[in-house]
Chain A
């Protein structure tokens, strides 16, 4: 299970990569593995304003449907259009070509509410032992 060192994580298994004043959001390796083959990612319209914790999209596999939650507040400045034709990128490269949206981050202090890689790893261990 990959948990890259340079990312922030949510308890709902999204990741956030800080890129200057913007953040790129996707789902974790654990999330894609639990979902199984992803067949559809519902993307928000550009410009959507999200508050931290808001649902902003949906990932569907043949097995299940899962909501996506905003790791931090911000405005959607880009969505990964390539997922419309190749949703399987979420499975193949969850931290790369499978990214979902890019947002302009409102308030960098909200990052403190997210998990660092070590905390996320512990969170996974707890979830799996349940």
Chain B
């Protein structure tokens, strides 16, 4: 039977359509993915992402361990800072993407994808070395994501934390609805927002209060359906779909995450060589010129040759167009390149476009414009 988050009963009460995702019973949508998507873009949405894995590295060797296993530079983090990073295998392939938070000099929190949590944990335990204890906190931890332009306004009503002083990717410990929590300014929607790490037992009460606060600002609970269309518009790759153990971060357009200048790390020799020689294929954004949802595995034709593959796609609720991501040969990766996506035996015209498909207006810009 599929695993359940601490909010399973809440989802049922809210009438969510539940689906199995990565071995978990998860809400696909409550009211409808389209409404939920718009709520996040215009106001805010509250997601249960308790299925994600939380792995803690503790001990004097915690930072060294993370430095060796991930591609970004952990040494740049002070206490309370986080960074987007990747676990790579020795071939430079992506095991998972994650956010690493430095809670203290001897304590790191890794938030990983649900679908890879067991693999990540086994890999990290195997590679950990001395002076570090690897603790799986997934089972006892709830994780909420409050996302949207009004996320800060909503969360402010539920916490004494100085949210306005929190920069992106920072994490603070404090009370949310009177419960001890870690609050991080991150997300996976292309909007401003927060992720809130809680004890599983505290999660339902915090969820209830946040649902109410969210609704007061015109927002609503949102499910995995909206989460996927939001992240696609934001051009954020999904591990397991847009990248995996057979693709490297450089091919996936995540070269900026890989810090070749730091000390040796798993996958570095391959990635350094690829950086020097250049990649042969690249993950690009595609926009269909005729309607149809690009789907994982569909061939992409370039100059009459099946030369690439779609990795994910959707109809963009914000743009009204059909968008996706695909690996194409480097020669076809330039925005504006005409390609074809094969769906249901037909080849439909599409264009390579720059990612992200959607970019939010920053708070500063929004004020400057008004």
Contact = CB atoms under 8 A, between A and B. Distances in A.
Interface in A44-95: 58, 60, 62-63, 65, 84-85, 87-88, 91
Q: How large is the interface on B (under 10, 10 to 19, 20 to 34, 35 or more residues)?
A: 10 to 19
A37 B32 contact: yes
Contacts of B229: 62
A81 to B, nearest CB: 13
Q: Give chain B's interface secondary structure class.
A: mixed
A39 B37 CA distance: 13
Contacts of A88: 34
Nearest to B292: A40
A63 B287 CA distance: 19
Nearest to A34: B17
B293 A37 contact: no
Given A62-B228, A62-B314, A65-B344, A37 B292 contact: no
A12 interface: no
B291 interface: yes
A36 B293 contact: no
B357 to A, nearest CB: 15
Contacts of A58: 344
Interface of A: 36-37, 39-40, 42, 58, 60, 62-63, 65, 84-85, 87-88, 91
24 contacts: A36-B28, A36-B29, A36-B33, A36-B225, A37-B29, A37-B32, A37-B34, A37-B225, A39-B293, A39-B314, A40-B292, A40-B293, A40-B322, A42-B292, A60-B293, A62-B229, A62-B314, A63-B225, A65-B293, A65-B295, A65-B344, A84-B291, A85-B320, A87-B315
A-B pairs, top 5 by smallest CB distance, nearest first, are A39-B315, A37-B33, A60-B293, A40-B291, A37-B34
Interface of B: 17, 28-29, 32-34, 225, 228-229, 291-293, 295, 314-315, 320, 322, 344
